[in-house]
Structure 1
């Protein structure tokens, strides 16, 4: 198949001018790079071995089928390895990242609830009749929840739960989703309401003597703000008080 593709691209009569197709026709290089984790589509994927002993499990992967509304066409698996391969052509080179996974059997190892579309997979039934590699850009992240029941019909089945991508933000309401969610801060106060202080205060009534007392604001002493001492002045005043407390025994005081 690779040789036929290369022959078709290299034949001038076919008029294939796309440099991408020419690069793919030469095939990948013999050198590949492997990683234990990879960040794509807003998910942080980790291989099954790399995630052992960690608090979170990020090795569950899913590749959507042709019909997004039919989960029975999806493929579910566990990430086994992350491989990057390089294509080197005559004009440019490019890198492609592939996910190698252990995929559950979509026929005998998967059940879909007819009403709620909930998906269960059987951990003992794997599908090995096809290429285990999928493009990393096609994958979304899931995790598998074991059933607490120890019944024979449930012990090998796991419920599929989709995780939310980090680039997806829930809005509290539809109004917030229609507006720009960018946070901002007002630096300056455009207008401050004025507060009027009346010089007239209500009369005070003395219930014991039965008389009404009136207070004249003009006789109240005006408050004078206290000047705050600096740290140096406070320090000098403390030194002065300490010197006054020290006495000289030779003077007889």
Structure 2
């Protein structure tokens, strides 16, 4: 739909005309295109009230607004996002600072919500952003801002950065070094984006245990994981002990059936006396 709108109206009209155009396009009674109910509900626009937050955790990062992160040892307001491809085939990367975090909701069922970051971007030109490909160093001039109005991004698309200053160089007092943060508890894969919308309807999936854990009871009530080889060794020892016990029982039974020499002499004496 975006491409259809841009081809007709151009990029400059997206912020002023797209929402009205989308509503008319989706609810056109003479159109032969059938739209999903989700698209119809989104085309009506978000609710008038939004939820404002000062921090939000997503993609393994903890984001905070610039106001909350100010004067703290750990600054979590730095953000960057990959944009379109420029004329040279390079992906444009926007570096900025989060000013506001809001959650927007849409009417209809199931409930639909989306978290947006309102950011202030640094200048993308060579006067505001420098890239040293040899040493893989990116610098931004925090006194130069991006002039175009494009502040909002979807939270699921954001990645976190930290800006470090040059305390010992006066010629670079206005420049910051971009340091990319690593997500916690996630494996980062390029060019893969999460689903933006968050659905309130729970999806129940059948859970199947692929491998059951085998444990032994510890004397201090600690569960210890045991490998399959150890289990086989224990079973072999148990079977050997059972065989030995059964063999001992047979020997004991044989011993009970055997008579001693004294008993034989006594028996012989009894038999001799009876014959006499």
State the TM-score, normalized to the length of structure 2.
Answer: 0.58
Alpha-carbon distance in structure 2 between the residues aligned to 1:14 and 1:114: 51
- 2:204 is equivalent to residue 165 of structure 1: no
Deviations 1:207-248 (A, max 9, x none): xxxxxxxxxxxxxxxxxxxxxxxxxxxxxxxxxxxxxxxxxx
Note the C-alpha offset of 1:53. 3.5
Which residue of the partner structure matches residue 118 of structure 1?
137
Match of 2:124 among 94, 103, 106: 106
Q: 2:153 maps to which residue?
A: 134
Structure 2 matches for 1:78-89, cutoff 5 A? 78-89=97-108
Give the C-alpha shift of residue 72 in structure 1.
6.5
SS at match of 2:183: coil
The yes-or-no answer on 1:44 pairing with 2:59 is: no
When residues 23 and 53 of structure 1 are mapped into structure 2, their CA distance, relative to the original with a 3 A threshold, is same
Q: How does 1:1-253 map to 2 (within 5 A)?
A: 1=17, 2-12=19-29, 13-66=31-84, 73-89=92-108, 91-107=109-125, 108-152=127-171, 154-168=172-186, 185-187=224-226, 190=231, 191=233
Structure-1 separation of matches of 2:145 and 2:157: 20
Change (3 A) 1:157 1:72: farther
Segments of structure 1 that go 5 or more residues without pairing to the other structure are 171-182, 195-253
Unaligned runs of 5+ in 2: 1-16, 189-212, 215-223, 238-276
Q: Which has the higher helix share?
A: 2
User: CA separation in 2, counterparts of 1:146 and 1:71?
Assistant: 27
Aligned residues: 179
- Alignment RMSD (CA, Å): 2.9
Q: Give the direction of change, closer, same or farther, for the CA distance of 1:14–1:128 in structure 2 (3 Å limit).
A: farther
| Distance of 2:44 and 2:134 partners within structure 1 | 48
What's the TM-score once normalised by structure 1's chain length? 0.63
Any idea what SS the aligned residue of 1:45 has?
Answer: strand
